[in-house]
Structure 1
């Protein structure tokens, strides 16, 4: 079996933390309300949510494998994350544009798991962090992945419609994720 690799085909650090972090982008890292789009509906520029850069860098520097699992166009995410110096912190990036499906579809989560050479047995050591109860949280819950709801924005509902949308954890700011991830990782070790 080959070693898992990053998007640049560099081997994944064997000393990486046990917990794997899947992150959404819009209103989880990037403030959707600040997006500037071109004539092809590609986001060319957007602001970060306060603390999102600290969250991404800190988790990566502490040895967590980060995967972007986001609905939208690949070029939009590349533009936004590169602009803020965050693109290279992600081991893999899964976009609805290339998967031809969107969350809560299991295909999105399975694609990220496949890119990291993870199996269904690894779901218990993955967290999915997102701003949308009906997409991020429901999709993670369906897969047996620990769901973390970032309730930062007022653009999306903050109350789950049914049990399938109930998050395992709720945080209000991106930096809150750092301590939560450390706590959850310690439970696995």
Structure 2
């Protein structure tokens, strides 16, 4: 492995929380069983590559999603993405949905992260009132994936304004690299 590959594979400062529906999986392709559990669905173009690239480059990934645990296990497994996530937090387990702080705190706890780590976390999602609001209220950097027309793309509420907006999943890779470099730079300056 050359030096650049080694650098890319080292553990990163930045930690990435991802929503699933319309962030990784196209909700419009979901097929449900008679109990409402999603049994299959297709990834958004480039989302599978995005997840793999981020994991291969050493980013710690967590799913923070509203819905049934089995639905997400099915979707992520059938698309070969399940094992890329260190932690999977679902609203079904916690009996609350985003923007509840419990969703974000559960992911942080499962990853052994404390309050001081919030500046290292980004939450990526498609929903301003859940993903962005929840992250902003917790002091976590918010990234809006402006991919679908199923949800509003703008909000008049300041707490629903994302820190960053990306138009397609693969744009997250470049943004993550840039944010990680800023965190690493700040860490070197303080050292």
| TM beyond 0.5 | yes
What are the equivalent positions in structure 2 for 1:5-154 lying under 5 Å apart? Answer: 15-154=10-149
Aligned-residue offset at 1:160:
1.6
- In terms of fraction of residues, the more helix-rich structure is 2
TM-score of the superposed pair, with normalisation by structure 2 = 0.91
1:136-172 superposed Cα distances (whole Å, 9 cap, x missing partner): 0000000110000000000000002310000000000
Any gaps of 5 or more consecutive residues in structure 2? 1-9, 185-191
TM-score of the superposed pair, with normalisation by structure 1 = 0.92
SS at match of 1:63: coil
Any gaps of 5 or more consecutive residues in structure 1? 1-14
Aligned-residue offset at 1:126:
0.1
- Cα separation, 1, equivalents of 2:135 and 2:156: 16
- Cα separation, 1, equivalents of 2:70 and 2:128: 25
User: Runs ≥4 in structure 1, deviation > 4 angstroms?
Assistant: none
Aligned-residue offset at 1:182:
0.2
Larger Rg: 2
Cα RMSD for the two superposed structures: 0.5
- Cα separation, 2, equivalents of 1:20 and 1:84: 22
SS at match of 2:25: coil
